Amino acid sequence: MSEKQVLAVVANREITQEDVNLLIRSLDPQRAMQFQSEEGQKRLLEELVNQELFYLDAVENNLEKDEHFQGELKKVQDNFLKQYAINELIRTAAIGEDETLNYYNENQDQFKTPPTTKASHILVETEEEAQEILEALKGDLSFEEAAEKHSKCPSNSRGGDLGYFPKGQMVPEFEEALINMEIGEISAPVKTQFGQHLIKLVDRKEEEAKSFDEVKNQLSQQLLAQKQQSLYSNKVQDLKGKYDVKINL
């Protein structure tokens, strides 16, 4: 449906699909979902018709000349002008691809992902339990099945999978056990503050640098925001030198 389609006319004032869409966009997303159906759109149209009726009645009764209304209107106009002036200032900010590329080349360390390790584990309370499971793993029992059956960690529902994690995320004893392990290897019981672990090293990823193309869009937005903030701050300082400011706190 075209946004220009006229859905209703109140006196000589048209209500279009665009008016309905604007009203939906003004609502919080959860509430807006209630009005996506045809019935919901009709309810919003009815509300817009009601508002137009109030507008016409207000004009007929010269409410726009009411002193209180004029005061409130002045506040709205002042606030709108403030925001408009700020938007006009920051609109002049721009970031070219050369500027983005230069920043990327001069700050390579910011775009590196640290080495990560992927591991699974089985957490039990005692070393005896851990040794019994370790023996069972020498047979037909898989590590994942053992984790689902015996592990006290919530990761048991994933077969003990802890995903990829960087250095420093796990407790020291856990990470120390992984240092000399080979991929696919299962550790002897490892004691930590949480209990006894059997750890399986699944994978390792070395440090990686994200390419410029991977970060270009996000970096451009970041640099643009910084430039806009700089424009704003510099303008404020200039204006403080031009106008007298007194803060009474």
Q: Are 230 and 90 in contact (CB under 8 A)?
A: no
pLDDT along the chain (249 residues), means of 10: 88 93 89 88 94 96 95 97 97 95 94 94 96 94 96 96 95 96 96 97 94 95 96 96 93
Pairwise CA distance, residues 131 & 43, whole Å: 67
DSSP, residue by residue, 136-156: HTTTT--HHHHHHHH--SGGG
Q: Quick one: which of 94, 85, 96 has its CA closest to 232?
A: 85
Provide the pLDDT for residue 3. 80
Q: Are strands 190-192 and 195-205 parallel, antiparallel or unpaired?
A: antiparallel
Q: How confident is the model at residue 72, as a pLDDT?
A: 96
Which bin fits 168, alpha (ψ -120 to 50), beta or left (φ > 0)? left
pLDDT at 1: 65
Predicted local distance difference test score (pLDDT) of residue 32 = 86
Structure confidence at residue 70 (pLDDT): 96
Q: Which of 217, 231, 225 is nearest to 97 (CA)?
A: 217
Assigned token pair, 237? 């300082």
**Stated pTM of the model:** 0.61
CB 97 within 8 A of CB 212: no
